[in-house]
Copies of this chain bind each other. A is one copy, B any other.
């Protein structure tokens, strides 16, 4: 219980994805981490580690690093004073949500791949089991400002992957996120919406009803306490959870500046499978997808079956190759086809003329014409051989 309380405190104390705090928790545990912030004294070993990493600041001296850590500690401490973990736990319970922390049965261990930026805990609200829902799952991400095309494809992928037994993971935004959840709800396997706000906050507010259905038949997930509103940086930080939960991520529509490309970057960094759906080259919302395909970062997928094949088990989940219709004409031998091509449509022609036109000898022509007549392709008239009018003569 004390660990859960400490983790709820950490959700308030550090920004989501704060890897410095993540490192502190990894080194001494959540309770000691909170205690060190409360006493405003960090372990000497941790202070040395911080100075040694100089994250992105190679020219920084030890004194400057210490000063920077002091400022970080002051910010943590200020937030700790404002924190009310018991109140947060009670608010979550009142809202009907549940807290899961690392090590508990419902905790999805694939989040451990996030290392120091692993969430301290997650608030879940919904009927589905997070761990089971994500064992075999695909993240469907894309533009909030999806075109009707993007929304259609997202819904098709949501439904098609769900029907194949893949859980769907996405955010809670307009456009691709919403369409993916709606498709997944139609398909039957649980859909998981990872939010950048509290699970009790309907953002965007027009998704209030959608979130209600997801709670009933899937799961809302957040690393923020109840009541927390989303901010722009938190949307980006949230994306790491979406990428980490799923086996693979598919980008449906994404402009060159798009949060979906941020999720794609997390998927690559986490060694997850990345795919992108192409679209019209005239559409700005597909530019990001095409760039991922051109760079070789993402596999081009066009159907839910192809995505299922990518994330599925080797040897099963194979997508069918697209094939066109087989026309009766296709079954003819090449020589027979050449003779058929040489038979005129209206005015008839004799076998010798047809032989010259087709470039085959007379004997072959006579034999082919007999077979073609029996199959109803050609007919013999008083003016020679011609095509039967009712058979297709061009295709």
Contacts and interface: CB of A to CB of B under 8 A. Distances in A.
A299 B303 contact: no
B74 A361 contact: yes
Contact of A324 (B76, B255, B281): B255
A302 B325 contact: no
A72 B358 CA distance: 11
A231 B342 contact: yes
A325 B258 CA distance: 11
B78 A355 contact: yes
Interface stretch (A36-44, A125-133, A287-295, A368-376): A287-295
* Count of identical protomers in the assembly: 2
B280 A279 contact: yes
A198 to B, nearest CB: 15
Contacts of A185: none
Contacts of A15: 338, 359
B279 A281 contact: yes
Interface string A273-314: 000011111100011001101100001111100100000000
B79 A356 contact: yes
Most chain B beta carbons < 10 A, residue from A153, A281, A360? A281
A382 interface: no
A352 B76 CA distance: 13
A152 interface: yes
B281 A322 contact: no
B280 A280 contact: yes
A341 B294 contact: no
A316 interface: no
A232 interface: yes
A71 interface: yes
B322 A256 contact: yes
Given A231-B341, A282-B152, A300-B290, A257 B325 contact: yes
Most buried by B among A74, A278, A301, A342: A278
B360 A75 contact: yes
A363 B70 CA distance: 12
A75 B281 CA distance: 49
Contacts of A303: 281
A364 interface: yes
A281 B302 contact: yes
Nearest to A74: B361
A152 B281 CA distance: 11
A79 B353 CA distance: 9
Contacts of A395: 232
Interface string A339-381: 0011000000000100110111111100000000000000000
Given A282-B153, A293-B300, A302-B281, A75 B322 contact: no
A206 interface: no
A383 interface: no
A302 B287 contact: yes
A278 B293 contact: yes
22 contacts: A14-B359, A18-B359, A71-B360, A71-B361, A71-B364, A75-B359, A75-B361, A76-B359, A78-B362, A79-B356, A256-B323, A257-B324, A257-B325, A277-B281, A278-B279, A278-B281, A278-B286, A280-B280, A281-B303, A287-B302, A293-B293, A294-B306
